[in-house]
Structure 1
């Protein structure tokens, strides 16, 4: 019998046949890679590898997820602050409301520090009464350490919240950010309610 829970197995990224993860390199190795290749130089610049942004030495994390937010046109974002362990715990205990049938999208703000992260992905499993009703896998991409104080921001695809009497109710979710090296940078539980209106 496996000691991995069903929930953990559901939060495993899908595998693309034939895709091989590249060899892990340090920032200096990336900087020195094919120095006279113009297209590679542009790619390295897009990762912020021409700037020195190693990150604070007292924070060992490579990816720091600052927040994830629910964006709905015409409304203030519902922001889940994930920047500290205390705020992460608060998210777990604070459900929020989504109006049935609205178009929404998630967006994440994050920092990368110390070294390049490759193939960062967002995984999410949503359950209702213990039964899985949705699984999301969103590719975020590859990033170098932030070259400026501004965090990176990634907006996901627009989705529609389910609607109707059967869709209304309480939902439990589990999410994580994982990269091509199978490093989980953050994992947390949260919950929300789908209601007829926002109140």
Structure 2
């Protein structure tokens, strides 16, 4: 072997030294919550269905609706208590976030006697 012979490893090292890195113009978009992604194109039916197929139907304008029949109770001096069945909050990364819950108490004639709004935060850790 002559002194002028160069191995393939040496050629690769020389090429790597002379190679200029190509500029990368990619800038990642800002992070968005799943709810924000769902709301982006909510008027486009085909995009909404596509996003539901990819992200799941868990987050929507109306996340869940529960109706409970309380029954018929006559007036009395003391208050009535009514407890609904126990429900578990959704689990997992996609379920995390802040939920605004609207509750109301109506009669059979759809007369709204009491309405209130409350928040539910689902987090992995409560240190935040």
Larger RCO (CA under 8 A, 6+ residues apart): 1
Q: Max radius of gyration: which structure?
A: 2
Which structure dedicates a bigger proportion of its chain to helix? 2
What is the TM-score with the length of structure 1 in the denominator? 0.32
Which structure dedicates a bigger proportion of its chain to strand? 1
What is the TM-score with the length of structure 2 in the denominator? 0.48
